[in-house]
Amino acid sequence: MKDISIYFSDFYSNDNFEEDQIGAKVNFSSAKDFILPSANSIALLFVPEYRNSAEPFSEKNSEWINQFRESFYNLYNGDWTNEFFDLGVIQPGLEISDTYNALKEVVSELVKNDVLPIVIGGTQDLTYAVYQAYEKLEQTINVISVDPGLDLGDVESPIGADAWLNKLMLHKPNYLFNYSLLGYQSYLVPKPQLDLMEQLYFDTFRLGEYYGNAKFVEPLIRNADLFSFDMNAIRSSDYQNNNKFLPNGFYGEDACKIMRYAGFSDKLTSLGIFNFNNRSIDSKNDLNLMAQMLWYFIEGYNQRKNDYPIGSKVNYIKYSVSLDDFKDEIVFYKSNKSGRWWMEVPYPKSIGSKYQRHLLVPCNYEDYQNALKNDVPNLWYHAFKKLT
C-alpha cells in the first residue's frame, strides 16, 4: 500500500480503556508512527469539511471528533475478529477541491487494498469524492444514500451539500451502474426529480415504505458498493442537531438496523456518515447515537458470510420461475450459508464484461413468492432495463 500518512493529522492518543472496550483493540496512528491498515480490515477517518453547506454548521469547531471517539471507543466489543484502524483527520484544504482530492486518494488506496474506509464528515457532498475514488478501480459500482431529500441540484450550479448527485451522475468516465435513495420524504422532493430517477431506472423508496415493509431494505443495501448516510434522515427527536429541523425521519434504532445491514453486505466496500452537526452546546446524545450506529455497522461487518455469489454456484439452491408474456425465466438463487436470495438477470453478450458483476441482484423470499404470482420484481426489472 502507498504511504497515505501525508493526508492525516489530529491523531487520537487516549489509551485508558478497559480490556473489552473498543478503544483497547484499535490500532491508533500517530504523527511518528502511522500504521497502514491490513487487508480485510476497517479504517476510520474524519473529514470536517463544511464549506459547501448553507446550513448553520459549527464548521470551526472540530472538538466533536474527539468527543465522538470517546463515545465510540468506550463501547464494548462484540465478537469481533477483523482489525480496526483509526487513521486520524483529513483537515480541509486551502480549497474544497484539495479536500476532495485528498479523500479520493485515501479511499482509492484503501479500497484497492481490501480495506473498508469509514468516512465521517463533514457535509454529504463528500460522497462525490468517495465515488471518484473508484475511478482507478475501473469497475462500475452501485451507490445508495439514506437521505430525507434527493440531493440532485442544478447541473449548472456548483456542487453543494444538497446538490452533489448530479455531479456524480454526470461524472466522466461514468462508472455508476445504479443509484438508490432510501428514506426520502415526499414533500421534500420535487416530483420531476423523482420522475427522472424512474426514467433512469434508479431505485427510490419513501420513509413510509420502510415502515410499511422494512424487509426490502436489506437486499437494497446488499446491492451497493458505496453507502452514504445523511444524519438528517433521523428525526429531530432522536438526532437533536438535525440541521433541517425535521420532525419525521428514521428512529435511532432503525438507523442502527440499517447500518448493521450495510456492514453485513459482502459487496459494500465504503461507508460515509455525513452531516453531523454540533450546533448545540450539548451534543452528547447525538454523539452516542452515531457511535452506536457505527457499532452496529462493525457488528454486521464481522458477521459477513462471504456468500456474495461470484464464481461457483455450488453452495446455492437454484429456482426457476416462468412468467406469462415473458420470454425469459427469472432464475433465483438461495445461499446455503445465510439463507439470502439473489435473482439472475439475462446478460446481453454484445456489451462485453463491463457489467458482469451486476448480473445477480439481491432480493428476498417475498420477491420469489411474487414472481410465482407472475409479478416481476422491481429491482430485477430496473437491472434488466439498464443492461439491455
Q: Name the residue range of residue 232's domain.
A: 5-301
If you search the block for the grid coordinates 456542487, which residue do you land on? 159
- Render 81-132 in DSSP notation, one character per residue: -S-EEEEEE----SSHHHHHHHHHHHHHHHHHTTEEEEEEES-TTHHHHHHH
Average pLDDT of the chain?
A: 91
264 and 201 inside one domain: yes
**Residue 171, pLDDT score:** 93
Q: What's the average model confidence in pLDDT over 327-343?
A: 89
Residue 251: how many CB atoms within 10 A of its CB? 14
pLDDT, one tens digit per residue, over 80-122 is 999 999 999 999 999 999 999 999 999 999 999 999 999 998 9
236 and 341 inside one domain: no
Q: How far apart are CA 363 and CA 167, in angstroms?
A: 29
228 and 338 inside one domain: no
**Residue 106, pLDDT score:** 97
Inside any domain, residue 307 = no
- In a 13 Å sphere around the CA of 336, the CA atoms on its Cβ side amount to 7
294 and 180 inside one domain: yes
pLDDT, one tens digit per residue, over 22-73 is 999 999 999 999 999 999 999 999 999 999 987 655 554 678 999 999 999 9
DSSP secondary structure code for residue 225 in this structure: S
Inside any domain, residue 310 = no
**Nearest CA-CA partner of 111 in 81, 90, 73, 141:** 141
Find the range with the poorest average confidence among 261-265, 270-274, 282-286. 282-286
Angle at 94 between CA 90 and CA 99, to 5 degrees: 35
Q: For residue 28, give Cα distances in angstroms to 82, 103, 106, 244.
A: 15, 19, 17, 34
156 and 250 inside one domain: yes
121 CB contacts (<8 Å, ≥6 apart)?
A: 46, 47, 48, 49, 272, 273, 274, 275, 276
Query: What whole-number percentage of the chain has pLDDT above 90?
Result: 74
295 and 325 inside one domain: no
Q: Which of 301, 330, 363 is the last residue of a domain?
A: 301
**Residue 280, pLDDT score:** 65
Indicate if the pLDDT at residue 272 is higher than 90.
yes
Inside any domain, residue 306 = no
Inside any domain, residue 182 = yes
More confident residue, 156 or 240: 240
pTM, to two decimals: 0.94
Q: What's the average model confidence in pLDDT over 275-281?
A: 77
Residue 354: how many CB atoms within 10 A of its CB? 12
**Residue 57, pLDDT score:** 56
Grid cell of 251 as nine digits: 428512529
Number of H helices, E strands in the chain: 11, 13
Residue 317: how many CB atoms within 10 A of its CB? 12
254 and 362 inside one domain: no
What is the CATH number for 60? 3.40.800.10
pLDDT, one tens digit per residue, over 359-382 is 889 999 999 999 999 998 888 989
Asked whether the CA dihedral 121, 122, 128, 133 is positive or negative, the reply is negative
In the chain, the number of structural domains is 2
Inside any domain, residue 309 = no
More confident residue, 175 or 296: 296
DSSP secondary structure code for residue 158 in this structure: P
pLDDT, one tens digit per residue, over 177-233 is 999 999 999 999 999 999 999 999 999 999 999 999 888 899 999 999 999 999 999
247 and 339 inside one domain: no
**Quick one: how far is CA 35 from the chain centroid?**
25
Q: Which of 248, 277, 301 is the last residue of a domain?
A: 301
275 and 322 inside one domain: no
Q: Which of 301, 329, 349 is the last residue of a domain?
A: 301
Inside any domain, residue 104 = yes
327 and 291 inside one domain: no
Inside any domain, residue 126 = yes
**Residue 63, pLDDT score:** 84
294 and 328 inside one domain: no
335 and 374 inside one domain: yes
More confident residue, 358 or 328: 328
